[in-house]
Structure 1
Amino acid sequence: MSSKKREIDLHHLWQEQGTGGPAQEPLGRSECVRLRRTEDVYAHACHITAWQQLYDQLRPGAFQGELDEVWLKGLQFFRERTSHALHQSCMVWPGAFWFGIPFATQAQGYIGRRQIDTESIAVRPGGREFELSTPDDYGILGLVVDRGLLQEQLEFQGQAQTLCLLEEHTVLHLDAAHKQRLCMYIDEALEVAAKAPASMGTPAVGKQLSHELLLVLLAALQGAQTVDLDCSVTSLRKRQIVSRAREYVLDNPSDHVTVLDLCQRLHVSQRTLQNCFLEVIGRSPMNYLKAVRLNAVHRELGSPYSTFNTVQDAAMAWGFWHMGQFSRDYLTHFGARPSHTLAERARLSTAW
């Protein structure tokens, strides 16, 4: 554990040395089916096998997360539900492609600066960081396919050009019927896995299910179309400002970044910064900065890889100087005291 501890960055994603991928089982788990229910945003972000994820919980209150996940040969699929609005930094395991399909009745989220509407899916290759912004009570289906396996099948089916589409675009529009069929297959497979998890480990079942999912995915991708960026240049700039602000805060924990610091760093007025944050995430820059810093301390207190062993040290590292006010803010935001999170560190470490 000690060698890995030196490599972990609790506030930025880190690139694995080597090729990674499902065959190596980076988290050391061999079971095919995992069903998780969490009340901690940090633990929830750690649960998706072989991914790297950082979740910032933006709205105060006790978090609820659900994750149902199945691993087959060269293929991973899951259903995720989160109770609170989140800003996520994500990286899929190298040598793969991820397809993210929001629930049909879902409020719209964003991948980077692009909106994921009800007719579209999100796509990203493995080993590359991307950002997701999701609203309260969000649900999404995920399908991750080994790149070599997907490329082989695309070429065999005469769809080799689709690989370039997946590399270059983050959002694709799918035919409604094909998208519904893909969602149905994933949902039904997850339901069977939850009721009879041992069946997923049967070679015949695993092969049949993975091939059927691949066929449904290939059919959906055959008619996939790129999605034009439908927001204005002004809206894009506002999202970029918010994204750069978050990155700067996490890059400079000891500087206790303030609203004035962001204005100077991003070359914008306080009014412009305020408008950007209110439009993009519905919160003021000051409230957002506090949320990001609280989440950073939350990760430090909950992670076995943290170098901080006291609440005060972790809080002060992120600019919280009034311990009484910090404890109250922490309790309001996460529904638990910071001392409780620290005490639970050993239990939460099993998520890694």
Structure 2
Amino acid sequence: MSILKQHHISSSSTLKRCKSFTFDVNQQAESLVQWEQRYNQHSSGTFNGYLDELKLDGIHFFEEFTNRTLLQQCSINEDNLWLGFSLQQQRPKINNQEILAGQIMTRPSGVEFELLTPSDFSIYGLVINKESLSKEMVGPDIELWQNQSTNMQVSAPNHYVTYELAKIINLVLNTNNSTIGNSEILDQNNLSRLTKLSPLITSKVADLLSRTEYDYTDPKVTHLTTNLTIQKVVADITNYVKETSSYPLTISELCKITGVGRRTLQYCFEHGFGISPIQYIRDCRLNEIRRILLNSEDKDIIIADLALDFGFYHIATFNSQYKHLFGETPSQTIKRSSGYHIVPMIKDITKG
């Protein structure tokens, strides 16, 4: 039995959690699922490495560490897209091209490539089903995605995107600071929360991929986006919230509601509301959570579950954003909710 199988944890056919430690370069190459690859070691000394991964409903997250310089010959299986990046100072090379800080390497399935990684190197990876991503595309985004999903290689440097992707991967692998608890213990509770997380992450990745490709100051966008378009987009979102009493969780949902692509949506919100669509839907969801906390009769309400229901999968970030907007934590809101409906006493100052 390989080390990979010895450390494998699985609670369903769609959820697989594993952390493996290897002491042979060939064993390291064989450990990563959904890949055809061969590693050659090019620095002296005993090899050791680890692979920490989680596979969830068409999304495969992993962090890989190797202590020796390697030349990796790689190809992804099935109909997937790979995104790879590192936050370390030492830089890898893909097909002899050095990857700059903030750049994301991308390759579709069936395309062979060579990856040169330095010693003591850690890389994040995300393999996601292309069909799942295509469902997140709306309007002009569809054509852009169809053209690029088969030949994507390296993004322009974007530190925000790489940081956000790293945060997502860290959350699902090291879940002590997330809403899903300890993923090493895959009980029914955690499984349910992880299942909720999957579509949110798919949409987030689509948003981040779009951000790497789009220039929101593109003259073509500003020229075609008239004031009438801005008014319609804003009205569509406002009417949707009024009619459904619910708030979209992702940019993809906003695009489907308004029928415009991500570039146009971004432009419309910045000129219509003065804020980004991300901030708009986040503030709306935070306000709705606050109303629930103030009006709920259940004083033992689980804040983490409520946050996840509204698309907040990082509990520390949620608490920080909530406090920044309202000047108090969710727990403080619950504590004072008992007196929320008490009519305040008003003194008539005219009677002395």
TM-score (norm 1): 0.52
**What's the CA shift for 1:160?**
4.0
Correspondence for 1:212 = 200
Q: Give 1:47-126 correspondences, 5 Å limit.
A: 47-102=31-86, 104-126=87-109
Work out whether residues 154 and 162 of structure 1, in 8 Å CA contact, stay in contact via their aligned partners in 2: yes
Work out whether residues 109 and 134 of structure 1, in 8 Å CA contact, stay in contact via their aligned partners in 2: yes
Q: Which has the higher contact order (CA 8 A, sep 6+)?
A: 1
Correspondence for 1:199 = 186
Correspondence for 1:10 = none
Change (3 A) 1:200 1:129: farther
Identify which of 118, 127, 137 aligns with 1:144: 127
Q: Please, which moves more after superposition, 51-60 or 169-178?
A: 169-178
RMSD (Å), alpha carbons: 2.5
Q: 1:51-93, CA deviations, whole angstroms, 9 ceiling, x for partnerless residues?
A: 1110000011011111001011111110001100000001111
Correspondence for 1:312 = none
Work out whether residues 125 and 166 of structure 1, in 8 Å CA contact, stay in contact via their aligned partners in 2: yes
Q: Tell me the amino acid that sits aligned with residue 129 of structure 1.
A: E
Change (3 A) 1:194 1:139: farther
CA distance in 2, matches of 1:211, 1:93: 22
**What's the CA shift for 1:217?**
1.3
CA distance in 2, matches of 1:67, 1:125: 21
Q: Give 1:244-255 correspondences, 5 Å limit.
A: none
**What's the CA shift for 1:39?**
0.8
Q: Tell me the amino acid that sits aligned with residue 37 of structure 1.
A: F
Change (3 A) 1:158 1:128: closer
Work out whether residues 53 and 91 of structure 1, in 8 Å CA contact, stay in contact via their aligned partners in 2: yes
CA distance in 2, matches of 1:163, 1:113: 27
Q: Tell me the amino acid that sits aligned with residue 51 of structure 2.
A: L
Correspondence for 1:223 = 211
CA distance in 1, matches of 2:186, 2:204: 21
Moved over 4 A (4+): 200-203
Q: Tell me the amino acid that sits aligned with residue 184 of structure 2.
A: P
Q: Give 1:162-311 correspondences, 5 Å limit.
A: 162-192=145-175, 195-199=182-186, 203-225=191-213
Identify which of 26, 30, 44 aligns with 2:28: 44
Structure 2 unaligned blocks of 5 or more: 1-12, 215-352
Work out whether residues 22 and 28 of structure 2, in 8 Å CA contact, stay in contact via their aligned partners in 1: yes
Identity %: 26
Work out whether residues 182 and 213 of structure 1, in 8 Å CA contact, stay in contact via their aligned partners in 2: no
Q: Please, which moves more after superposition, 130-139 or 211-220?
A: 211-220
Matched positions, count: 197
Higher CA-based Rg:
2
Q: 1:306-328, CA deviations, whole angstroms, 9 ceiling, x for partnerless residues?
A: xxxxxxxxxxxxxxxxxxxxxxx
Correspondence for 2:291 = none
